[in-house]
Structure 1
Amino acid sequence: MKLTVVIPCFNELGSIEQIVKAVKASPIKDLEIIIVDDCSTDGTRSLLASAIEPQVDQVLYHKKNYGKGAALRSGIQAATGDIVIVQDADLEYDPQEYPLMLQPILDGKADVVFGSRFMGGRPHRVVYYWHMLGNKFLTTLSNMLTNINLTDMETCYKAFKREVIQAVKIEENRFGFEPEVTAKVAKMDCRIYEVGISYYGRTYKEGKKIGWKDGFRAIYCILKYNLFR
């Protein structure tokens, strides 16, 4: 079993080296690491080219800043592993938990696995109440239209059989990726599992990028990809 780790990256100079080291130190040894730089402007791009490219399988460079969804689209298309997992570059999610994410697929029970920050039992940094409430609202709205009972639709940690995610036409360029891909794998009748994960959330001062406009876009995407596709 080979795991492809797709790392979308935009202005992560302070964390990109750490996340690459953390991914390489994960319990999964057969790894393909693909980083997609979405036209960083803070020096991340130079660091990738000078120091990180030799450590990973591929670094893809966007000529324009399109967004996380666009970066994932590029990385997923390039993946060759049996399973594909999304890993943000911001150190909020722990690569040591890859085995938790992969086990339902390896057991032959799942096609897609969501890592839930809200299932309990694992460390969870206390950050923004309204973000948590917004996430739960978006998850509930998504569940009502997909008829699946997720606890954390907006999670970054999603693992897919490669043939499943490469069959999904990803249209969203920004953070709309999460509700879009959830709606589409639900419509494909994929076997979806959820496992509890740790979450080391960061603040806006520490570089968090998602904002209230992305929340409204998520509502639009939930309606669009569930009701009109």
Structure 2
Amino acid sequence: MKPIVIIPALNPDEKLVTLVEQLKQYDLTTVIVNDGSTPGYEIIFDILKEKLDCVVCVHTKNMGKGVALKTGIAYAANVYPDAPGYVTADADGQHSPEDILKVARMMEKNSGKFILGTRDFNHEKNAL
């Protein structure tokens, strides 16, 4: 089994749908936590559930990213007990699907380890 991707989301836009579509191409299971989004964003969560077959855990009010991650991890631990771990990502697209996959693969090879990804903002292609 592959690691589970957990994404907390508060009032997400289409970037989250695009990210999940790309993660599905890598056969990664994704758990989304709706962290108290306002009603106008239900369409995004409906697409994630109905079209992309994601589990969406719901907080009725905003509890914060840390609590949302705990909710996602608790859900994943109960439903996917054989998963080698959890990869957390943001709903706004700042983590690329390719980087999420790299962390997931590293986690598969290093079960029981704590894996951190980093970004190099000093890299020439990221220069302003």
What TM-score do the two structures reach when normalised by structure 1?
Answer: 0.47
Relative to 1, partners in 2 of residues 1:121 and 1:57: Cα closer, same or farther, differing over 3 Å? same
Alpha-carbon offset, residue 105 of structure 1: 3.3
| 5+ long unaligned stretches in structure 1 | 127-229
Aligned partner (choices 59, 76, 92) of residue 90 of structure 1: 92
Q: Does residue 15 in structure 1 map to residue 15 in structure 2?
A: yes
- Write the deviation string for residues 128-182 of structure 1: whole angstroms up to 9, x where unpaired: xxxxxxxxxxxxxxxxxxxxxxxxxxxxxxxxxxxxxxxxxxxxxxxxxxxxxxx
| 5+ long unaligned stretches in structure 2 | none
SS in 2 for 1:69: helix
Q: How much is the aligned-residue C-alpha RMSD, in angstroms?
A: 2.6
Alpha-carbon distance between aligned partners in 2 of 1:109 and 1:62, rounded to the nearest angstrom: 30
Alpha-carbon distance between aligned partners in 2 of 1:42 and 1:122, rounded to the nearest angstrom: 41
Alpha-carbon offset, residue 2 of structure 1: 2.0
- The total of aligned residue pairs comes to 122
Alpha-carbon offset, residue 102 of structure 1: 3.4
Name segments (4+ residues, structure 1) moved above 4 Å.
119-123
- Higher Rg of the two aligned structures: 1
Alpha-carbon distance between aligned partners in 2 of 1:70 and 1:125, rounded to the nearest angstrom: 34
Alpha-carbon offset, residue 106 of structure 1: 3.2
SS in 1 for 2:116: strand
What fraction of aligned residue pairs are identical, expressed as a percent?
27
- Indicate if the aligned counterparts of 1:37 and 1:45 stay in contact, CA closer than 8 A: no
SS in 2 for 1:8: strand
Of the two structures, which has the highest relative contact order with CA contacts closer than 8 Å and spacing of 6 or more? 2
Aligned partner (choices 54, 58, 61) of residue 55 of structure 2: 58
Letter in 2 for 1:8: P
